[in-house]
Chain A
Amino acid sequence: MKDNHPVDEEPAIEKPPFFKSWKGMYWLVLGNLAFMILLFYAITKYYE
């Protein structure tokens, strides 16, 4: 079993698909959340 002490070098992080950086992916997830909340709010108001 491997030890749990830190490895010296930072692990390499590849680029995400479709976006130039991971920020784009994060904004996609958060934007999707905002869109769903707005959609759900519209549904709630429509049937209120």
Chain B
Amino acid sequence: MRPLDWIVLLGTISFIVIYGIWKTRGSKDIEGYLKGDNSMKWWTIGLSIMATQASAITFLSTPGQAYEDGMRFVQFYFGLPIAMVIISITVIPIFYKLNVYTAYEFLENRFDLKTRSLAAVLFLIQRGLAAGITIYAPSIILSTVLGWSLTITNLVMGVVVIIYTMSGGTKAVSVTQKQQMAVMMGGMIIAGIMVVSYLPENVGFTDAVNVAGSLGKMNVVDFSFDWDDRYNFWSGITGGLFLALSYFGTDQSQVARYLGGKSIGESRLGLLFNGLLKIPMQFLILFIGVMVFVFYQFNQPPVFFNEGTKTKVYATQHADELRTLEANYSSIFEEKQQAMQGLVSALKADDAAAIATAEAQVENLNTAGKEVREDVKALITKAVPNAETKDTDYVFISFVMKYLPAGLVGLLLAVIFSAAMSSVASELNALASTTVVDIYKRSVNQSGSPAHYVTASKLFTVGWGIIAILFATFASMLDNLIQAVNIIGSIFYGTILGIFLVAFYFKKIKGNAVFFAAILAELVVLYCFYFTDIAFLWFNVIGCVAVILFGFILQNMIGKKEKELIQV
């Protein structure tokens, strides 16, 4: 990190935090603290919704995913616009009519207290865990880059967010997210332009896309159906729809964003804004990852993207083995450079036979390179047994740190910081409001003054922040960070969505039936998670359908028993 990077990073973050605190000073009553005085316009809501969903994981993991797997992850978001329309039509008017602070308040109105509490607790468990991962993801990167301990980095990250979220509540979260979103999108667009500008002189933008397509990275849509395939059209449009319905319709970290709207129309427009822009935004981030892949076809990539782990291996007796593997990797790359120039020339000449030959050559060399990378991973496991061998989350940041000029590195780190802060702030705010409104105020202390509940909300914000920091400190590197968050979400979301769908559309099913149906459905999802290979997106569908199905069965049983009792 050069001085200019520090100035840009600290200047950006400080400005956003100070602006957020200053802009929302004086939020004294609970209406203002938890709902931002219902003053938010649609663009604030829309940007806030997008910033909440786009965590640091989105910017670290997604380009790495595209580097490995191409563009197909974008299908994950196909269900989202449909969900935005459904929520705008059905959910928003009901929440406004009931004037609720949290989504779970509605469930008591429709069913009973225990169902409301169950949904709130399921939310608190999954969102509490996710908040830890949201802090942990950028912390591991920053701890590597800055040479800080992971604990100190988690603390710095968490404490900054706790301060402004506690200070200004929901409004502070939404106001800061506008700036954070501008930093995120501005930074990523500049990074994308820089990647393309770093390509060899004879490789233009169109050539780069052609190369990406030639090497199988422009695989955006796949209509073939496979239960075990995480990302195809069908899992995206159905599983993604259910996940988006659960996330935006029942997850308080998102519900709070549009409940703060000035009117139903402003809230709807905010959600529909997200429905229009989310897929193009994800496409852009994935496309930057694909461009980084193309860049590394012409420039030597590291044999392993996590330099910290490599340094650890070099400190062991296996250093010479790693050196040999790196030399092998370099010689394969030198050979590939010639093949790449052949591929570019063939693509420019549109010579099908030459393209096929060059593609085969490059693919063979890429396969050879992958084999060396596998050997390196095996060596890492041998030399540093606890080290994580999956390095896709380091692909993009490794490129940023090595190739971007002074100032831009700081800006891109500000992107990651902003993304993390915006998501964590929404999560802490939602965790605190759910704890206060659905648990503390409802079941523990019903007679407090408005000021008492504002103080309680602030204390719970700090409490959940501390829990998230602790979880982040003890979390070990999971398979892939963005997937880890989505898997945790999918385990609980289906059940929560099922409860809400029953509430909205199945009037005959009552509180007792839906409560036990939800518990059974959660057990079914946990069974699927531990004992089957079903792709995680389907958990949303399974959990949701199971609640409805068990709800019907249990309601019939309860109904029959009640009839028998009446007859007796």
Q: How far is the CA of A34 from the CA of B382 in the complex (A)?
A: 49
A16 to B218, Cβ gap below 8 A? no
Q: How far is the CA of A13 from the CA of B276 in the complex (A)?
A: 21
Which residues between 84 and 107 of chain B lie within 8 Å of chain A, taking CB atoms?
A: 84-85, 88-89, 93, 96-101, 105-106
**Set of chain B residues within 8 Å of A20, measured between Cβ atoms:** none
* Residues 6-47 of chain A, each 1 if its beta carbon lies under 8 Å from chain B, else 0: 110011111111000010011011101100110011011011
Which residues between 379 and 426 of chain B lie within 8 Å of chain A, taking CB atoms?
A: none
B268 to A22, Cβ gap below 8 A? yes
**Set of chain B residues within 8 Å of A36, measured between Cβ atoms:** 279-280, 283
Nearest CB of chain B from residue A36's CB, rounded to whole Å: 5
Q: A12-B264, A33-B279 are in contact. List 17 more A-B contacts (CB 8 A).
A: A2-B99, A4-B98, A5-B98, A10-B97, A11-B264, A14-B263, A14-B264, A26-B85, A26-B88, A29-B84, A40-B221, A40-B283, A41-B221, A43-B218, A44-B222, A46-B218, A48-B219
Q: How many residues of A contact B (CB 8 A)?
A: 31
**Nearest-neighbor residue (CB-CB) of B116 within chain A:** A4
Q: How far is the CA of A2 from the CA of B102 in the complex (A)?
A: 12
**Set of chain A residues within 8 Å of B111, measured between Cβ atoms:** none
B98 to A1, Cβ gap below 8 A? no
* B82 CB contact (under 8 Å) in A5, A17, A30: A30
B82 to A1, Cβ gap below 8 A? no
**Nearest-neighbor residue (CB-CB) of B99 within chain A:** A2
A33 to B82, Cβ gap below 8 A? yes
Nearest CB of chain A from residue B35's CB, rounded to whole Å: 10
Q: How far is the CA of A48 from the CA of B70 in the complex (A)?
A: 13
Q: How many residues of B contact A (CB 8 A)?
A: 48
Known: A32-B81, A37-B78. A44 touches B220 (CB 8 A): yes
Ranked 10 nearest A-B pairs via Cβ: A47-B213, A40-B220, A47-B218, A14-B265, A4-B105, A33-B81, A29-B275, A11-B96, A40-B221, A26-B85
A1 to B30, Cβ gap below 8 A? yes
* A7 CB contact (under 8 Å) in B82, B84, B98, B276: B98
**Nearest-neighbor residue (CB-CB) of A11 within chain B:** B96
**Set of chain A residues within 8 Å of B268, measured between Cβ atoms:** 16, 22, 25
* A13 CB contact (under 8 Å) in B78, B212, B222, B264: B264
**Set of chain B residues within 8 Å of A17, measured between Cβ atoms:** 269
A44 to B105, Cβ gap below 8 A? no
A-B contact pairs, 9 of them (CB 8 A): A1-B450, A5-B98, A7-B99, A10-B93, A29-B85, A36-B279, A36-B280, A40-B74, A44-B222
Most buried by A among B30, B84, B85, B283: B85
**Nearest-neighbor residue (CB-CB) of B266 within chain A:** A14
Most buried by B among A14, A16, A25, A29: A29
**Set of chain A residues within 8 Å of B71, measured between Cβ atoms:** 40
**Set of chain A residues within 8 Å of B263, measured between Cβ atoms:** 12-14
* B272 CB contact (under 8 Å) in A1, A12, A29, A44: A29
**B364 is an interface residue with CB less than 8 A from chain A:** no
B100 to A4, Cβ gap below 8 A? yes
**B428 is an interface residue with CB less than 8 A from chain A:** no
Which residues between 19 and 35 of chain B lie within 8 Å of chain A, taking CB atoms?
A: 30-31
Q: How far is the CA of A44 from the CA of B217 in the complex (A)?
A: 9
Known: A13-B264, A29-B85, A33-B279. A4 touches B221 (CB 8 A): no
Nearest CB of chain A from residue B245's CB, rounded to whole Å: 15
**Nearest-neighbor residue (CB-CB) of B237 within chain A:** A37
Q: How far is the CA of A13 from the CA of B96 in the complex (A)?
A: 10
**Nearest-neighbor residue (CB-CB) of B280 within chain A:** A36
Nearest CB of chain B from residue A10's CB, rounded to whole Å: 7
Q: How far is the CA of A6 from the CA of B94 in the complex (A)?
A: 9
B221 to A37, Cβ gap below 8 A? yes
**B214 is an interface residue with CB less than 8 A from chain A:** yes
Nearest CB of chain B from residue A46's CB, rounded to whole Å: 7
**B547 is an interface residue with CB less than 8 A from chain A:** no
**Set of chain A residues within 8 Å of B78, measured between Cβ atoms:** 33, 37
**Nearest-neighbor residue (CB-CB) of A25 within chain B:** B272
**B441 is an interface residue with CB less than 8 A from chain A:** yes
**Nearest-neighbor residue (CB-CB) of B236 within chain A:** A37
Most buried by A among B100, B212, B275: B275
**Set of chain B residues within 8 Å of A43, measured between Cβ atoms:** 218, 220
Q: How far is the CA of A43 from the CA of B265 in the complex (A)?
A: 36
Which residues between 279 and 299 of chain B lie within 8 Å of chain A, taking CB atoms?
A: 279-280, 283
